[in-house]
């Protein structure tokens, strides 16, 4: 009799555990809304919804790891991440040449960009996914002035660390100023992360509530301009 009760208890325990995990799990979804178009077909044959779903998940895990967010309470509260491949007519929202964008945990990928991309489109879109998934999880400095360039710099830093920097990016040490954003800022952040392991994770954590260039002083003991000068000197510029 006792044996049966134990079994029953164990069963309840298992059910409870899986319910809990189900509650906390992030849902990943991908849709091709451009199927039938040349770009949509190229997406299906060279990338695919199943692969994209897997990448949304592995990118998220990579980002949490890089941000050193070991527990869920440290992360942004996000229940699902979705990807849509869709036609984005040139000039939509006043945009030109935008490959993808993220809004409200949704990532939208430009099907025409997939169509006309020259080279390994799977690798390119995977890199873009790492960048866009970062936008889903990173803190935004509460929308304060100056945060935008770091938001884009951190997203490209993640793409760089994941091994998906494209060949058209600037090389380390290149660029005119630390706040050019994107690849220029990404390489600079990589330099800063080399000075202090986990710098980008700490910077992101600080950006939960605010943004200030003073964060560089607080974390590395130097102004961002001094750090940029050191960085340029290191590469002989």
Ligand X SMILES: *[C@@H]1O[C@H](CO)[C@@H](O)[C@H](O)[C@H]1NC(C)=O
Q: Is 60 in the site for ligand X (CB under 6 A)?
A: no
**Positions 93 through 112 that interact with ligand X (CB under 6 A):** 95-98, 110, 112
Which listed residue (14, 19, 20, 116) binds ligand X by CB under 6 A?
A: 116
Nearest distance, CB of residue 125 and ligand X, angstroms: 13
Nearest distance, CB of residue 98 and ligand X, angstroms: 3
Nearest distance, CB of residue 115 and ligand X, angstroms: 7
Nearest alpha-carbon partner for 227 in 182, 177, 181? 177
Size of the site for ligand X (CB under 6 A): 11
Nearest distance, CB of residue 90 and ligand X, angstroms: 4
Q: Which stretch binds ligand X (CB under 6 A): 16-24, 92-100, 159-167, 229-237?
A: 92-100
Q: Is 92 in the site for ligand X (CB under 6 A)?
A: yes
Q: Is 166 in the site for ligand X (CB under 6 A)?
A: no
Site string for ligand X, 2-41 (x = CB under 6 A): ----------------------------------------
Distance CA 147, CA 141 (A): 6
What strands lie across the sheet with 27-32, from one edge to the other?
A: 27-32, 80-86, 106-110, 100-103
- Which residues contact ligand X by CB under 6 A? 88, 90, 92, 95-98, 110, 112-113, 116
């Amino acid at each position: 009799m006792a044996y049966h009760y134990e079994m029953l208890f164990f069963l309840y325990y298992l059910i409870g555990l899986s319910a809990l995990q189900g509650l906390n799990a992030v849902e990943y979804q991908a849709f091709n809304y451009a199927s039938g178009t040349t770009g949509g077909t190229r997406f299906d044959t060279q990338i695919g919804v199943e692969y994209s779903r897997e990448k949304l998940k592995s990118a998220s895990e990579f980002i949490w790891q890089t941000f050193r967010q070991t527990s869920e309470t440290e992360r942004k509260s996000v229940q699902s991440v979705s990807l849509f491949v869709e036609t984005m007519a040139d000039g939509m929202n006043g945009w030109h040449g935008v490959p993808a964008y993220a809004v409200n945990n949704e990532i939208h990928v430009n099907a025409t960009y997939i169509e006309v991309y020259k080279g390994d489109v799977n690798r390119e879109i995977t890199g873009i996914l790492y960048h866009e998934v970062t936008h889903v999880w990173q803190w935004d400095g509460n929308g304060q002035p100056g945060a935008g360039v770091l938001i884009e710099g951190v997203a490209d830093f993640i793409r760089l660390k994941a091994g998906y920097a494209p060949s058209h990016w600037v090389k380390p040490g290149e660029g005119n100023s630390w706040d050019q954003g994107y690849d220029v800022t990404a390489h600079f952040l990589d330099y800063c992360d080399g000075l202090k392991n986990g710098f980008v994770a700490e910077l992101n954590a600080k950006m939960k509530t605010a943004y200030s260039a003073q964060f560089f002083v607080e974390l590395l003991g130097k102004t961002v301009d001094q750090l940029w000068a050191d960085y340029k000197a290191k590469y002989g510029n």
